[in-house]
């Protein structure tokens, strides 16, 4: 297991800012050197969200998560907190998955509870609230609410997100200096799925170099859509220097037709730190 003598177990990233409005919308990034020729017609995905990202009410997913005991798996997430008058504060955190080192296999089970018109203070085209039935590794970080949502403003370029809502009261009770002036619950918005040709990435910055979090399309493999989430190294480290939490890491995700996410693999510094395996999927109505 990695030592944390050089850094805290819960690392609140130093990059914190006040922004006007929701300026952290997705940006399309093209890696020109890796873009492949158009795939043959058999590999072209039609209506990918209807087929590869099901959200029917009652749909259930049960996963088995295997987390390394030798190399800690990392959670990275950012949260926007409203501060009134169109201002928001952005906080980012890196923490450890599955702190119970007495075991390395954890269960995750959730279902689609119902359709919603709004996801926290976010309002996307098509949203569903999730009911978390079991979350042993704290994937959803004890969030107040969890949603799946699709932005379909441009049908050909739709993007699916996981949105987690965090309590204003808990933030203020935490004693964090960042809680001052917060006027409502915070929202974390993570890109989960999109369909583009291989070599196209979506992130929150104007270009690849300025995206701390980037999701790249790896194309279609064995009939499954393969995406890779890339989290850059945290260079804004404080006193004591960098720790394991500050490493860059990747999460490869595979989506199967009619089912959704079937596999996830996280790698940190060349080591596989966590895998998700779908045990059971129950389609909804």
How far CA 165 is from CA of 82, 95, 136, 142, 175, in Å, comes to 12, 17, 19, 9, 19
Backbone angles phi, psi at 157, to 5 degrees: -125, 35
- pLDDT for residue 25: 56
pLDDT tens digit sequence for 138-165:
999 999 999 999 998 776 788 999 999 9
In a domain, 181, yes or no: yes
pLDDT of residue 204: 74
Average the pLDDT over 281-285 and give the result. 95
Question: Is the residue at 132 inside a domain?
Answer: yes
**Angle at Cα 82 formed by Cα 78 and Cα 85, nearest 5°?**
140
Nearest to 254 by CA among 191, 207, 192, 200: 192
Domain that holds residue 154: 11-25+45-282
For 42, phi then psi, to 5°, come to -65, -25
Model confidence pLDDT, tens digit, residues 201-216: 998 766 667 778 999 9
Per-residue model confidence as pLDDT tens digits over 3-55: 333 333 333 333 333 333 343 456 555 443 333 334 444 444 456 777 899 99
**Residue 71: inside a domain:** yes
Which pLDDT value is given to residue 179? 87
Q: Decide if pLDDT at 282 tops 70.
A: yes
Output the pLDDT for position 174.
84
Given a cut of 50, whether residue 236 has pLDDT beyond it is: yes
Q: Phi/psi class of residue 199: alpha, beta or left (left: φ > 0; alpha: ψ in -120 to 50)? A: left
- The pLDDT tens digits for 170-199 are 998 888 888 889 999 999 999 999 988 899
- Joined together, the tokens standing for residue 122 give 């976010």
Q: Is 40 or 110 the better-scoring residue by pLDDT?
A: 110
- Nearest to residue 244, comparing CAs of 91, 97, 136? 97
What would the pLDDT profile of 53-108 be if each residue is shown by its tens digit?
999 999 999 999 999 989 999 999 999 999 999 899 999 889 988 666 678 899 99
Per-residue pLDDT at 235 exceeds 70: yes
Residue closest to 87 by CA, chosen among 3, 21, 153, 7: 21
Residue 30 lies in a domain: no
Give one DSSP letter per residue of 203-238, joined into a string.
ESSSSGGG-SEEEEEEEEETTEEEEEEEE-------
Residue 33 placed within a domain: no
Looking at residue 234, what is its pLDDT? 87
**Number of structural domains in the chain:** 1
pLDDT of residue 22: 40
**Does 35 map to a domain?**
no
Residue 4 covered by a domain:
no
Q: What is the pLDDT of residue 41?
A: 41
Whether residue 3 lies inside any domain: the answer is: no
């Amino acid at each position: 297991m990695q030592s944390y003598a050089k850094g805290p177990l819960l690392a609140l990233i130093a990059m914190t800012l006040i922004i006007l409005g929701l300026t952290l919308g997705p940006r399309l990034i093209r890696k020109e050197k890796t873009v492949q020729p158009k795939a043959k017609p058999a590999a072209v995905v039609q209506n990918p969200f209807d087929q590869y990202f099901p959200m029917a009410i009652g749909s259930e997913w049960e996963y088995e998560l295997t987390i390394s005991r030798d190399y800690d798996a990392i959670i990275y997430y950012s949260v926007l907190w409203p501060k009134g008058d169109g201002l928001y504060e952005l906080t980012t955190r890196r923490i450890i998955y599955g702190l119970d080192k007495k075991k390395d296999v954890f269960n995750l089970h959730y279902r689609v509870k119902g359709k919603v018109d709004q996801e926290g203070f976010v309002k996307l085209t098509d949203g569903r609230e999730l009911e978390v039935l079991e979350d042993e590794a704290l994937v959803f970080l004890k969030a107040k609410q969890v949603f799946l949502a699709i932005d379909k403003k441009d049908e050909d370029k739709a993007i699916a997100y996981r949105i987690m809502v965090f309590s204003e009261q808990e933030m203020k009770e935490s004693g964090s200096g960042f809680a001052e002036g917060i006027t409502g619950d915070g929202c974390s918005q993570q890109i989960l799925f999109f369909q583009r040709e291989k070599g196209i990435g979506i992130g929150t910055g104007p270009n690849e170099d300025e995206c701390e979090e980037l999701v790249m399309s790896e194309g279609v493999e064995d009939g499954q859509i393969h995406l890779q989430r890339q989290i850059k190294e945290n260079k804004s480290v404080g006193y004591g220097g960098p720790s394991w939490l500050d490493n860059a890491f990747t999460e490869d995700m595979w989506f199967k037709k009619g089912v959704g996410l079937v596999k996830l693999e996280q790698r940190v510094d060349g080591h596989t730190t966590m895998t998700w395996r779908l045990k059971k999927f129950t389609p909804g109505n």
